Amino acid sequence: MPKPKKSPVNETRAEAWRLVDGVVIGGKVISDLVGMDQHHKLDAPQRAASMRIALQTLRFADRADWVMKPFLNHAPHPTIRNLLRLGIVEVCAESAASHGVVNDLVSLAGRSNRTAGLKGLVNAVMRKSLEKVEGNWDKAPVPKLPKWLRKPLAVAYGNAALQGIEVAHMKSPPLDLTVKSDPSHWAEKLNGTLLPNGTVRLASGQQVSALNGFDAGEWWVQDAAAAMPVQISGVQKGEKVLDLCAAPGGKTLQMANLGAEVTAVDISEQRLVRLQENLTRTKLSADIKVEDAMKLPKDQFDVVLLDAPCSATGTIRRHPDLCHARDGAEINGLIQLQAKLLRHAAKLVSPGGTLIFCTCSLIPDEGEVQVEEFLSANKGFQAKKITQPWIEESWRTEEGGVRLRPDYWSELGGMDGFYIACLQHKN
């Protein structure tokens, strides 16, 4: 049988469909999929739009399923379900014109033998779904986190907090910047908001490279929560500091900007390329080393910052693909790796020096529990009092760390989930 002729369609939507399929069916994360040649055949605006549509589709997949369910006699092939999800979300959450979206989706379905016979289904389900959901999108159920993550978060924070986190994940995250100096000036210049910790917050959906100050290297993109470990660390000018698992490098840039002598270590040479590019753009300097942190020769540093590999569950509001591409199976291995890295990092801290441990995870086993067990086994370290005035009392944890969640600062647009502990080497 000859292949169906390819109808002219919006290639941005075609690429968004490929990205969603790659996550939901292929089990990959968006960052891997956008590195493929097929993605780079599109121009920059198309790439940005396809990624935005794909992420929104993944963010609201549950809602789209709720909308279309009454019009499906049985579960469609996963790729068709993803196509329907994409169309419903683009119309309802992105305010795209329904007529153009439906026509494009039908054409996309007709592009291959695998889905050509389902063009009629796509057309019918889309039209009925959009008629049903008109005026009711915001009344649809809040998308839930996967079961493997909901359970530990409910135990850790309670059901009310869990629901608050899920509500926070529905909102497109703002664009946060760490500026080299005078954040008040840059907040005004960029028409942004100055957060209590000095982060400049802008509305989402902006082209970063087109913003004032990008080419001059006056700032870099960094979520407010991700900026806090260095702000808490107390790094001083001239101190010898080590950033372990440093890529993509926001914390390295912060410490270099404070005047510290920074050594940035990461096992991935490719990821460190981006760090070097940002150092060059911002006219900052650091000693970059491609090395396994566990094999790093023993040395003594005034400050060691370990942003340990983790489940990244605190970044789901920015990366909703994680809910679809992962099942939590890797977490036990990550917990063991974190403990090993923390023990090794402690050996590199000078007497009287500071060890910062942080993870962008919402799971206490990757944060509070790690530090509690470390302090129990390492009497030469103690938790330092975190005194920054913008740290709220409700964020503090029993072992002396700080727990950040997406539902915190909700009136300001939220933040990523993070855990941070500041540990002092006593002798």
Q: How far apart are CA 191 and CA 180, in angstroms?
A: 17
Q: How far apart are CA 40 and CA 350, in angstroms?
A: 46
Q: How far apart are CA 377 and CA 53, in angstroms?
A: 47
Residues catalogued as catalytic: 360
CA distances from 244 to 272, 279, 367, 419 (A): 12, 17, 16, 16
Report the largest interatomic distance among the alpha carbons of the chain, rounded to a whole angstrom.
Answer: 77
Q: Which two tokens stand for residue 2?
A: 């000859």
Q: Is 29 exposed, middle or buried (0-12, 13-18, 19+ CB in 10 A)?
A: middle
Phi, psi (deg, nearest 5) at residue 62: -60, -45
If DSSP codes are grouped into helix, strand and coil, which group holds residue 413? coil
Full strand arrangement of the beta sheet holding 219-221:
193-194, 200-202, 175-179, 219-221
Instruction: Report how far Cα 251 is from the mean position of its chain's Cα atoms.
Output: 15
DSSP 328-378: STTHHHHHHHHHHHHHHHHTTEEEEEEEEEEES-S-GGGTHHHHHHHHHH-
